[in-house]
Every structure is written in structure tokens, then in C-alpha cells.
Structure 1
Amino acid sequence: MSLTLADARIVTPDGVHEGWLTIEDGRITHVGHGAAPRPGHSLGGRHVVPGFVDLHNHGGAGGSFPSGEQEGARDAVALHQRHGTTTMMASLVTDTPERLARAVASLAELCDDGLLAGIHLEGPYLARARCGAHDPELLREPSPAEFAGLVEAGRGHLRMLTIAAELPGALDVIRAAAAAGVIAALGHSEAGYERTLAGIEAGATVATHLYNAMPQLGHRAPGPIAALLQDERVTVELINDGVHVHPAMLRLACAVAGAGRVAMVTDSISATGLSDGEYLLGPMRVRVLDGVARLAEGGSIAGSTLTMDVAFRRAVQELGLSLPEASATTSLTPARALGLADRVGSIAVGKHADLVVLSGDLEVAGVMRRGDWVTEP
């Protein structure tokens, strides 16, 4: 079946142009300028951007990926798809070895179905002093044997591991991850500048939510932030929700790393899309008030209730990014980090027809995934 979307303002890495595109069998087959050569579905001059790609997501709509429960995971995916996320990682949190292995094995089945792009282990190899919303009693030193077992449980779907580079054995596990095709991400760490560089040299290529859960920038002790920002091999995650990071620091990261290395993420939890109240993030109890999630005991920020469409809109309206730059941070750059840029992340011939139609004020008006409407404009 062929579908032409006409009268669109198409956002590509090269700019924004008035035009049209054709979709066949779930893929983009033509992208043209001006009037469509045949009648099609008119988008009335609205913007079309590629579907969002979220590297770091713990759930939504009451579903929590760390639980490993498939029904809840499907609810979470459906919520985020309605907000434009067409490619999503399922992020877990620190837990016992047994519960982590069960959750990885369960979510791998949803990866088999194409619902998820992969599984992200945020923990358990994190610094106690920077563990945030992770249970400090369940943290442990990096274990190549445990990690190998989790890779096996994931059957090729374990795609990312967040690890603190300063922990004993961390560099060995980073090397093992790289050898297994798993992205090593540095975060929840007390590492200084030099140790962070050592982690990058060992094979780490992502910074887990830059600025959060790590030592801050200092003019005599630059710390991990300077190392992660300046290294061209590293994609830096940013949580652009107006809570986790001040807009000035977000703009600084975008200025230094550029849209080609910044990946907006949600770090969303099961409360996303729901009202304030109490929720679980793995084994930890979380209280959400005015949309801000914090641990019920201690008050540490515990993920977010952010969706990617809001992150995109804030990138344009609060950070001053152009539409192509904002699109890169929410689609193409994270797709490259995952090694999926040949299939998703931009509007181009041959790629999946993963599209978000945006109104004039950048609100979601329609979402398409693999050529099928999730919500039709």
C-alpha cells in the first residue's frame, strides 16, 4: 500500500522545506519539494519530524520496565508512542542479580517483537555516593561473570550498561561490554577527569544524564563533565525537563558538544502520563508532586515524568535550537548512538516511516510508526 503525505514542512538534517513524502510497506520511498505529484493526505502545512528515539526510559502509564512485567511495559510503550517516541530503550535500575536477570529475559521478548529497541542496565555498578534513586544496599562492584550472564539473558537485546568508571574492575567490564556489542555509558560516578578519560579509552561512548549524579565542573578539578563534553567519541544524554538541569547548562552542553553529540532523554518513570502520587522505581518508593518525582525517603530526584515531545519543544523554545538541531538531539543523534541511524532518526528514502506531525506550536498532531498511524492527524 502506498501513502503520500502532502502539504508538509519536512524537517531534515539539511533544513526545513515545503514538500511531500511517499510511504510504501512501512518505509519512506520518496521525499520531494513543492507540490506532491499525486493527491495525498494533506498535512495542512504542519511540520513533520522523524520519530523520537529515547535512549533512557524506565516506563510510563503505570508500567515500569524494571519490574519486567510485559503488560505494563506495553502500556508504557503505547503512552510514549502517542507522544512521538517510535524507538525506545527499556531502562532497568539496580536490583538483585536474580530480579535483574528475570527482567532482562522478559523484556527481551518484547525486543523480539520489535516493540523495544533494546535493554539498558542503569546499575548495579554505580557509585554509592552518587546512586541517586538506586538502592545503595544493592549496589555492587562490577562483575564480568554477572555481566556475561545478563548479556546471555538478553539474547542480543542488552544494548547499554551505565557504570561508574572508578569502581574496581569497571574498566574490564567496559571492555567486555564493547566486545559484546553493548554500549558502555559512564554515569552515577565519582570519577575525576582522568579516570573518566580512562573509561572512554576502554570503550565507553555515552554519558548517562550529563550533570546529574556526578561531580560538577570545576576550574581546577574539571571532573567527568569536562571529559565527557570534550571527547568527540561520546554522546551526552541530557534530561531537558526544566528540573534536572538549568537551561544555561543545557545550552552550554549543546554549544560544546553540538546537536551531533547531544541526545535528549526522558529518564521517565511509571508515573509519566498519570497524576501525582506514590509509585515504585524498581525497589524504591517514589513520590510525585507537581509532576516532579523524588524518593519518598531522602528526597533525591527519581527519574522524571517527561515525554520526548516536551523535550523537543523545550529544545526549540527554551534552548534556542533550530528545528533541525532539535530533531537531531531527539532522533538522529540517539539513533547513531544505538547504531540504528541507517533505519531511523531522520526522514530519508529507505528509512522506516517513523514520523511525528507537529502543530504550529510544536504540539503532537499525529504519530506514525513503521508506516502505520499511532494517532492520525
Structure 2
Amino acid sequence: MLIAADRCWIDGALVPDLAVEVVAGRVSALRPLGSDRPDQRVALLMPGCTDLQVNGGGGVLFNADPTPHGIQMIAAAHHRLGTAQILPTVITDAPEVMEAAADAVIAAFGQPGIAGIHIEGPHIAVARRGTHDPRFIRPLDARTMVVLRRLRAAGIPVLLTLAPELAEPALLREATALGVVLSAGHTTATADQARAGMAAGVTMFTHLFNAMPQMTSREPGIIAAAILSEGWCGLIADGVHVSAEMLRVAMQARPRTDRCFLVSDAMPTVGGPDRFTLYGMDIHVQDGALVNSQGSLAGAHIDMLESMRRLIAMTDLSLERAIAMATDLPRQAMGLPRLALASGVRIRDLLALDDSLNMLRLPD
């Protein structure tokens, strides 16, 4: 099969007018099209997205089904929407749930779509817990360190979101030494506390602006510290969690413009029914947002490809930067190898789009 692409995302750049030869479901060659007649023409061909924050999808919540089957269902739902790899994300819960989630990822790792695990909480600030259940919030402790050691011994990439001001610096350094990526989130940290966390190993900030104190003229807080740092900042671009203006502020004020990336913070409604249960509460889609019975946000109802489209629409960001924020940059933040459009890659892991960035089906 021969696919003609107006543009291909290769090594961080858009390369025009290439033909992609496909044999037995894998890319066999990339070359100029010449006078050949393609079997399919697409506007853009790129590796599938990578999402570092996926709580659920396809009607499955990872916390409620922390099993290899649950992970596979979530990954499959996001794959159908253009995301090639995810970090299944377990949020604040009983220690047994975190441990079961770790077991599930160890068992599922190596299967299509699973890039590691994101543990978001329970080591967070109660005052900035969002929808996380306060019953399970606790400081970073020996029990979690055992889970982290087990995951890393199995070669699993691990992202841990916590409130750095509440964690012992020695434990932060120990986690960093294990190769765990530490991200500050659901936090009340001041700018000084954020910088102290970075000195102890924090390299990332979880869904910047959300679940953290907002910056003011006299209290810049963790948001200003994050924006002015060289750390990685995850952004939710659903138009609900962060306004277009604040997205632009965050991206344009960075000393390094390549240190922001997209996350979905997706819940089971992505690729699934329009409601689910979390901590015994009904969560449902309302005007494009996910809310609980009190009207508070509870995750996001968006996938990565739609995030990329909305980011461009809200900020006039270039297509190149938006693609990078959905593909290469989250992988760099986690130390993962780039998903390349190259010979040997499975066609199922590529994303074909039309001029409006809508998905086009590629044959398996």
C-alpha cells in the first residue's frame, strides 16, 4: 500500500510531499511520491499522541478497575481517538488501590499503548485536592516508596504527582534516584517551596493553574515559579480548565518554549458513556465539562487530538508546536524515546489527518 502525505511529522519537523510504503501493517519506506499513484492521500501523517494523564476512557475508570484488562480497555478507547500511548493514572485512593494499579501496569507493560504509570496523589494538599477524596490523603511514606521501588525494578516509567511542600526532601531525593519523575500538583506551595521541591528533584508541574494557588502581584506562588523555571508544565486545553489567555501567558513567558506539553486528564466518558461514578459520586458531562453533583470539575472530557485542535484555535499556536506538545514533548518530559514515523513502525500507531485535523482511517 502507498500513502501520499502532504506533510509528515518527522524528527520534530513537518516534511512536505512524502510517500509512505506500507507492507504487512508496517511502514517499509518513506520516499518522494514521484509519478506513482497512491492508494490513499492524507493532509498530515504523524505518530499517535502520547498522554501522560489518563484517568479513564471507554467507560472504564482506572481506580475502579485497576487490572490489566481495565488498562487495555482504557488504552484501546484512546487509541481509537488518536492517542498511541498513555500513562494510566491512578488518583488518590486507598493504598491497596495504588498497589493493585502498580501490579496491573507491571503485568500490562509491553502491550500496545502502555507507556508507564502516573500516580496522582494521595500525597497532596487537602486544601487543593479538587475531586480527590480527603479520606485517603497522606504524606509520602514508606508504603508508597515500596510501590515505587517495585515499579522501577520492573522497568516501568513512573510519574508521581504530589505536593512538594508536604513531602520530606529525603524521600523526594530517594524517589528521584530511583528514576521516578516527580511532578508538583494539587499543592499549596509558595514560590520558595516550589523551588525547594525542584532542588529536591521535582521536574514537572501537573495541569498547571489547576489545583494550585493562583499567582498575584505579591504572592507569585507555584504557578509563577513553574512558568519561570525550566521544568516541564502540563496543560489541559479543553477551554474549561484554563482560559485561552492564561494558556498563552504560560507558553509565552517560559524561558524555554519547548517545556510545555498537553495532557487530557481524561475520564471514562472519553470514548464512553456520558457519566460514571467516582468515590460513590455521580460524575457527568455538562456543557462539555465533567462535573459532580455540586458542579465542581472532576477531570476532563477530552482526548489529545481534540486538545491539539482546541489549543491551536484558542492560542493561534503554530501546527508544529501543537503537534510537538501532543507527541514529542510529553515523551521527553518522561525520558521516553520518540515515537518516530520511520521504517518498521506499525501503521496502527500512526495518525492520519485531513486539513481540519480530523482523523482519517488507515488500513491495518
Q: What is the TM-score when the length of structure 2 is the normalising length?
A: 0.90
Match of 1:309 in 2: 305
2:207 to 193, 197, 209: 209
Match of 2:137 in 1: 139
1:286 aligns with 2:283: yes
Match of 1:49 in 2: 46
Match of 1:19 in 2: 18
Match of 2:236 in 1: 239
Structure 1 residue runs of 5 or longer lacking an equivalent are none
Matches within 5 A, 1:322-341: 322-341=318-337
Matches within 5 A, 1:167-246: 167-169=166-168, 171-232=169-230, 234-246=231-243
Letter in 2 for 1:160: L
Distance 1:251 1:52, change over 3 A: same
The separation in 2 between residues aligned to 1:283 and 1:176, in whole angstroms, is 35
Residue deviations 1:274-300 (CA, integer Å, cap 9, x gap): 3433x123665423323321233x432
Residue deviations 1:241-293 (CA, integer Å, cap 9, x gap): 0110001111112212365111111001112223433x123665423323321
Match of 1:165 in 2: 164
Tell me if structure 2 keeps the 8 A contact 1:7–1:35. no
2:164 match: secondary structure:
coil
Tell me if structure 2 keeps the 8 A contact 1:259–1:329. no
Structure 2 residue runs of 5 or longer lacking an equivalent are none
The separation in 1 between residues aligned to 2:162 and 2:212, in whole angstroms, is 12
Match of 2:55 in 1: 58
Match of 1:250 in 2: 247
Tell me if structure 2 keeps the 8 A contact 1:216–1:225. yes
- Figure out how many residues of one structure are paired with residues of the other and give that number: 358
Calculate the aligned-residue CA RMSD, in Å: 2.4
Q: What is the TM-score when the length of structure 1 is the normalising length?
A: 0.87
Letter in 2 for 1:50: P
The separation in 1 between residues aligned to 2:120 and 2:104, in whole angstroms, is 17
The separation in 1 between residues aligned to 2:248 and 2:21, in whole angstroms, is 36
2:54 match: secondary structure:
coil
Tell me if structure 2 keeps the 8 A contact 1:126–1:164. yes
2:165 match: secondary structure:
coil
CA positional deviation for 1:42: 2.7
Match of 2:122 in 1: 124
Residue deviations 1:90-126 (CA, integer Å, cap 9, x gap): 0001111122111221232111424411111000100
Letter in 2 for 1:217: M
1:347 to 333, 341, 344: 341
Letter in 2 for 1:340: L
Distance 1:194 1:29, change over 3 A: farther
Residue deviations 1:163-188 (CA, integer Å, cap 9, x gap): 1011042x223212211111100010
The separation in 2 between residues aligned to 1:135 and 1:221, in whole angstroms, is 28
The separation in 2 between residues aligned to 1:267 and 1:168, in whole angstroms, is 24
Letter in 1 for 2:243: H
CA positional deviation for 1:25: 7.9
Distance 1:221 1:327, change over 3 A: same
1:110 aligns with 2:113: no
The separation in 1 between residues aligned to 2:18 and 2:279, in whole angstroms, is 46
Residue deviations 1:345-373 (CA, integer Å, cap 9, x gap): x5356777632111121111136xxxx83
CA positional deviation for 1:6: 2.0
Letter in 1 for 2:208: L
Letter in 1 for 2:214: Q
Q: Which range moved further: 148-157 or 205-214?
A: 148-157
1:142 match: secondary structure:
coil
Tell me if structure 2 keeps the 8 A contact 1:135–1:284. no
The separation in 1 between residues aligned to 2:22 and 2:93, in whole angstroms, is 43
Letter in 1 for 2:295: G
The separation in 1 between residues aligned to 2:24 and 2:234, in whole angstroms, is 33
The separation in 1 between residues aligned to 2:319 and 2:77, in whole angstroms, is 24
Match of 2:73 in 1: 75
